[in-house]
Chain A
């Protein structure tokens, strides 16, 4: 097991380095920050002065070398927009996204496991049909639409929730809802199909024949075996949470890393882009390690392999 994790860490470190190289060069291919940060009417001389001050007039390889040297000193540079360290921005924003994603995944998984399992008990039944309809709709509806309609209904018409912002637990309801609906739809479908296979397996048939209670058959025997593909898809959905977070954070004014990343891309704030991508990549690395541990717990073949 220890060897396995060492191997995963090495692989992830190599991927991280590849990501750093890619993000560094791709970001710079998209344009000069001087064009985006300075007003349109700014004379070329001032743009050149700006580029020189921040080292953007240097050859790309020189900029990259300097970046790598600074990185070894854990210096991720500073934001072009306000001059503060890029890492400070990312670390200030990251907890919000993490918390938002945590609640969204927790709710998604809980609903998906319960709904998918019950739906799989009688495939084609009324509950299954309703659950499939709702989960497919949830997996298909765009996040921004849910967000705007959610504000209209719950904040403007009924006034039971705030439109946006942070502060009270109710401020989190709409952003979490926007974030969990899509993964919940996808996961419900995965749980359902995985549970249908598990419930028709010989060991569940034996359990039923022995008169074991339905609840125990579903949640005690079948679910554990059906969870492996669910964990895989859930990990994928959790890693992709940052995409949904961009929408939720932008619309609801949540100061998270999704919105920070989009802002930084819009203004070619390279240091912040790089820092945000790196911190997110490290978080995803730990997420993958967590998924591996869950695999090992669920499947003895992984544990002893």
Chain B
């Protein structure tokens, strides 16, 4: 009797708990959504919107002056309705009228000037300043309530693109401290929360644009890709971001998108890598199609340059290196005959957990190089250790090595890539070539078609005459999307996910 009643009690408890958890699993009938992401989103101040923080706040909470079209990469009006270059270093921007911040403050030229000054406030650890505006000081000058001039020290033809990162926050935002509840002109607000609470965005009435369908978005941090995928599968989340290849197994829910990241191996121009024949041989020895199909998948694009085709300056005429191990051997023999040491062991510096299957790709490439007689050894490093080898000033003497890299260019223009990596003064450049410097310098100050042509020429020259790297792939991310949503990821999704683009079926 006692056993029977115990079983009944346990059964009843399970039923009760089961009922309560069923409630927790149930999909919302309203338009609230849950997004599972691998990020902590520690500091969602709009000043950090060029990082993953942008996924939450950019254009949802705080809007920028312009908006980059994810397909063409062209800037389009957002809080700015028009812009024109009025002098070599000055742009005049006309601001949208009738817009207010969600705290009731008016959006005007004062608010724009204050946001710019706040971004340059040295008391703030502002990622946007470090990433985009470290070498470009913007000086605002208010013309009238809805017109503002922004000046730079040097001509800045990319100002409309830079304006897409200039997110404008309410004038009530603290000037000297970062905020965990940014206030902007977007359709959503961020309610105050405790340190362990998830970030929630709530739709507000009175948004100046079209009212988005999503009424509330909750961002949950889940580190494991398999877990994020499972959450969408069982209905606990609507969107799972950054799903790993091995978990993206449901074509109905898993969608690939080019994530703007490009991978390569960089040569230090030392020892055998000072010889262009060795650098060419290392490219010829790699079967990129085999790598792609074996370790990644057909959605990955074999890269010929460090940014995507939608970026200004992409050269569509450049072709990937062919797989030609015989030619590679021949070039290495020639170098060896001229006294170049191609037989010593050379380290390949990889970064642990850089991207899915990255380590496996390095190991496969090492085997391909071994097949042509090269002796490359994998040396995995943690990020801090790896960074010491990546950025100038380099420790002397710099050894012969290959360095695994991944670079994202979400901005729409080649300058964010070319100067940094291929100009002799670039922070991650390994060489100095006067002709390439000249082309990049000219492109940096040019505009329109001329700018595109100069970057294209610089790209082609670098790839054929210098061979600074072993190009790999334009990378893919997967996002798992619940069937109840009507949503298509785009190439800007690394730093921005506009809730207004999400619909319901």
Binding site for B on A (CB under 8 A): 30-32, 35-46, 49-50, 53, 79-84, 88-89, 92-93, 96, 148, 151-152, 155-156, 159-165, 167-171, 250-253, 255, 263, 268
Contact = CB atoms under 8 A, between A and B. Distances in A.
Contacts of A82: 42-43, 178, 180
A81 B195 CA distance: 12
B173 to A, nearest CB: 14
Given A155-B234, A162-B24, A163-B236, 19 more contacts: A38-B130, A39-B131, A41-B428, A50-B130, A53-B122, A81-B42, A83-B125, A92-B196, A148-B224, A163-B227, A164-B231, A164-B236, A165-B236, A167-B24, A168-B20, A170-B24, A253-B220, A253-B227, A263-B40
B134 A35 contact: no
Given A50-B125, A82-B43, A92-B194, A42 B227 contact: no
B427 interface: yes
A159 to B, nearest CB: 6
B49 to A, nearest CB: 13
Interface in B374-425: 383-385, 387-388, 390-393, 407, 420
Contacts of B50: 39
Given A81-B43, A92-B195, A159-B25, A168 B17 contact: yes
B222 A40 contact: no
B41 to A, nearest CB: 10
B20 A170 contact: yes
A162 B178 contact: no
A35, A41, A45, A171 — most chain B CB neighbours (10 Å)? A41
Interface in B224-273: 224, 226-227, 230-231, 233-234, 236
Given A92-B195, A152-B230, A169-B17, A251 B236 contact: no
Nearest to A159: B234
Closest 9 pairs between A and B when the two form their complex, measured CB to CB:
A31-B384, A255-B196, A81-B42, A46-B130, A92-B195, A170-B21, A82-B43, A42-B130, A82-B42
8 contacts: A31-B385, A39-B130, A41-B131, A53-B125, A92-B194, A163-B234, A165-B236, A252-B227
B387 A40 contact: yes
Contact of A161 (B21, B135, B231, B428): B21
B223 A250 contact: yes
Contacts of A88: 195
A46 B129 contact: yes
Contacts of A255: 196
Contacts of B387: 31, 35-36, 40
Contact of A151 (B24, B129, B131, B227): B227
Contact of B236 (A31, A50, A162): A162
B96 interface: no
B264 to A, nearest CB: 13
Given A42-B130, A44-B427, A49-B122, A156 B230 contact: yes
Given A163-B230, A163-B234, A43 B427 contact: yes
A170 B17 CA distance: 7
A37 B125 contact: yes
A250 B225 CA distance: 12
Contacts of A79: 42
Nearest to A37: B125
Nearest to A269: B42
